[in-house]
Chain A
Amino acid sequence: MQQYIIRRLLVSIPVLLVISMMTYGFANLVPGDPVSAMADPELMTGAGGDALRERLGLNQPVHIRYVIWLREVLTGNFGYSYHSGEPVLKVIGRAVLPTVELTSVALVMSVVLGTVFGVVAALRQYSLYDYALSVAALFGVSIPTFFFALLALYLFVAVWGLFPSHGMSQAGAEFSLVSNLHHLALPAVVLSLDSMAGNTRYARTAMLEVMQSDYVRTARAKGLPEFAVIGRHAFQNALLPLITVTTLRLPFLFSGALIIEFMFAWPGMGRLSVEAIYLRDYTLLMGLTMIITALVLGANLLADVLYAYADPRIRVRG
């Protein structure tokens, strides 16, 4: 297993390299650059930004800039944001925490509740509960997140006034955990709905399949209590597809949820990424891309490793 992990990590290096080249190249192909994004074109006086371009190194050819960027990244220097002048890692670090807070809560809710609902629906197949949960799950995956966000804003904020409309805590006040959780609740629930619905369907399908397998029938025939049949034999096997789905969603923990961040004014990686694209902040954009790419590769590896642990049939062959 150790060798397998090392091999996968080594394979990740060229993948990262190719992705970095492609991102850098495409970002620079898009019209405009950080300087042209700095001043509002409506307010421009026509004064050239060539001196600024030169000082920022933007007058160099793209491939030279890429090599310089890569050389610095290999020494751990991800560069500075063209617009704020802050180190890229600092800017990303500031956005990562709110994102992780929001997405991890949403992910946990969606996995736990989605699994429970799916398993329950499977165990009570064709019951009223199964139908209700299936319909709810169908709505969950069909209706876009922004609609739920608008609905939540309208009902829970505008009509009932139960939650604040924006932000991750009260601006200008000392940080308070209660205030933070109060601000978090609504966006986290809305964010979790989509994947919760998906998990419910996955869990239901997986559980139904497992419940009809021979070994479950054998376990029952042996006279095992239902608790052991379901908990030990069925549920553990039904977990496999959920592990895949969940681990593949792990990068989402860090990449942010743009729509929710926008609707609830939640600071995070989603808004930061869009801002970096709009402002042509190449260094920030590259920093974000590299981190998210590394997370995706890491999540894939984790999924494979967890699979091996969850399913005894899967073993690495040296």
Chain B
Amino acid sequence: MSVKHGLLGLLARKPQNGYELKNSFDEIAGGFWDVNFGQIYSTIDRLLKDGLITTSSEGGEGVERRVYQITQKGIQEFKDWLDKPSAKVRPLRDEVFVKLAFMYPFDKEAILQLLAEQRQLYLAKMAELTRKKYLLSRQSGSRDMLMTDLLLDAALFHAEADVKWLEHCEAKLSEFESIQREEALENDEIGFDQYEG
């Protein structure tokens, strides 16, 4: 998913100006995918350059606004994108993972603390997303709301996986440490070198 295809999809529904596009985007993305005006306008520039959208102005002097329409080429591009499954698996570039890799084996307690705090942050975030879902469920249903609900679900499933992974890390690191310690004791040498392995 990219801002590009998000904007093409919104313009396929109806022509809109930049301000409306930002609002429509926020409405669908449920406020948890933050896209700023800078990203919206730089994407618009690219879409214009590629001939996927055109522009015209509306309003009088002083309050003139540029309205964007999708072109036939843009519709084709959007449909092609829509019909194809995403081949990319989410890349593993988790900041926590990088920290983990650099921290280990220096400070086991600090790592476990980091993992616990990270897990708590994810849980708090999940609770926040769940609250949004619950509020949404109390309004009358529409197609856009269903889509927002599904996006919130996606965020929740991903966060859930992150929480599980963090718990898994904790369990494995703790087990690994205790095995290392036992081995070190057996060799009657407890030294930092023993933990590198």
Instruction: Tell me if chain B binds chain A.
Output: no
> A interface vs B, CB < 8 Å?
none
